[in-house]
Amino acid sequence: MKAVREAVRTLLKTQEADSYFNRFDPRAVGFTDYSVHVHKKMDLDTFQRNLDVKRYRNLEEALQDLKLVFQNALTYPRTNPTVKQSATRFLVWYDMLRHKLLKSKSTSDKTWKSHAMNIVAELVVNNIEDTTWFLIPVNHSIYPDYKLSIKHPMDFRKVITKIRSGGYKSLDEFKRDVLLIAENCRVYNKGAEYFQNLSARVETTLCRLVNEAKKKLSSLVKSKKSGGVKERKPTGSTPKTKGSSRLAIKGDQPADARIHQLKMIVHTLTKEAERQGTEVIVRGLTLIQRQLERHAFAQVSAFISAVQALWGKSKSNKSIEQKFDEQLQNYGLLGIKRALHAPSPSKPKLVPAKPKTPPDPFPPPTQSPGIPLQRPRPPVPSPQKFGIGGGVVK
């Protein structure tokens, strides 16, 4: 039940989910025949309260009530078309949530189709704020020019249908269609920075999940060939470190996703430079874009240094530099830039050792504490030259 509660909280972050949160009073809007078509009312607020008081006996019963929240909007014939469209969209979200919670653990990791469904469920359920626009086909009555810009439309509902019906022959074909969803969003929303960044986030998450799925499938094949015995890692292997500045490392973030992020940064900076009319920086960013396409940068730090070299220390390009920092912050790369400019630890200065002086063979007399320094006494007179009274002996 905890997973259902967290999923609903994530759903409520979307603006369209507000229509399904409060209790619906059909008489207040004149829907007197609402009870004829809808037998059980349900909203997200009531559903969350039922979860809090533990009214549901099992997960299946809770999911049935959650489905009613959106199914009732489609069942009633007088529902607003906009609300019906959002209900259709959220039913796709519900389908993926149900798959994620009720999937069989014994068969979830054995075929690439099950991995593809898991990837869609991860994208739709955990990233509903980004993927809510891509769940169903675009409404051409609202966006009539969409057909003119997009030749091959694609959405997640169509992707799910193709997975279940066997429309894909491999995981790469599935990945190609999901990338097409993000690419269509980027093409249709040219100039909209929000949708450009949204497409980049979807592509980055997709590439990461597909690479993880391929690793699991390859390890499964190896374990089958070796008789089910898993390979042991060498004890002396170094642990993987997070925040690495390298573009392509085995086990790290995939290179194509990272390079795509850098391309999006260059694209945003190019627009800012064109707005300011700095042709020199525009030409330099174009060159960097070509180098990214050829995979010329082996590390993110090399890319950051190349971009910063375009404006140098000029104060007139401070706005572009601030834009660069914002883009690095969005993709979690600002720490690499700070590490480049961090002062190196100063080495301790080597002070030459003083030469040792040889000990003095005749040291001065030392005075003991509390005892006065004694002066040398005069020589004692010989008894042969002096008498008893001190006179000279004749």
* pLDDT digit string, tens, across residues 307-345: 888 876 555 677 888 888 888 887 778 888 877 766 655
User: Is residue 182, in this structure, part of any structural domain at all?
Assistant: no
Distance of alpha carbon 108 from alpha carbon 105, whole angstroms: 5
Q: Residue range 141-156: average pLDDT?
A: 88
State which residues form the domain around 29.
Answer: 1-94
User: Is residue 227, in this structure, part of any structural domain at all?
Assistant: no
User: Is residue 360, in this structure, part of any structural domain at all?
Assistant: no
Angle at 182 between CA 207 and CA 97, to 5 degrees: 70
pLDDT at 131 over 80: yes
DSSP for residue 32: T
Question: Which pTM does this prediction carry?
Answer: 0.56
User: Is residue 33, in this structure, part of any structural domain at all?
Assistant: yes
User: Is residue 110, in this structure, part of any structural domain at all?
Assistant: no
Q: At 160, phi and psi to the nearest 5?
A: -65, -40
pLDDT at 241 over 50: no
How much is the pLDDT for 252? 38
Structure tokens at 261: 């992020």
User: Is residue 392, in this structure, part of any structural domain at all?
Assistant: no
Structure tokens at 17: 């989910």
Asked which of 94, 111, 141 is the last residue of a domain, the reply is 94
- Residue found by looking up tokens 């049935």 in the block: 64
Q: At 246, phi and psi to the nearest 5?
A: -80, 150
Asked which of 94, 128, 155 is the last residue of a domain, the reply is 94
Q: What is the chain's mean pLDDT, rounded?
A: 75
**CATH code of 65's domain:** 1.20.920.10
Asked which of 94, 122, 153 is the last residue of a domain, the reply is 94
User: Is residue 183, in this structure, part of any structural domain at all?
Assistant: no
pLDDT band at 16 (very low <50, low <70, confident <90, very high): confident
Q: Looking at the 3D structure of the chain, how many domains does it have?
A: 2
User: Is residue 169, in this structure, part of any structural domain at all?
Assistant: no
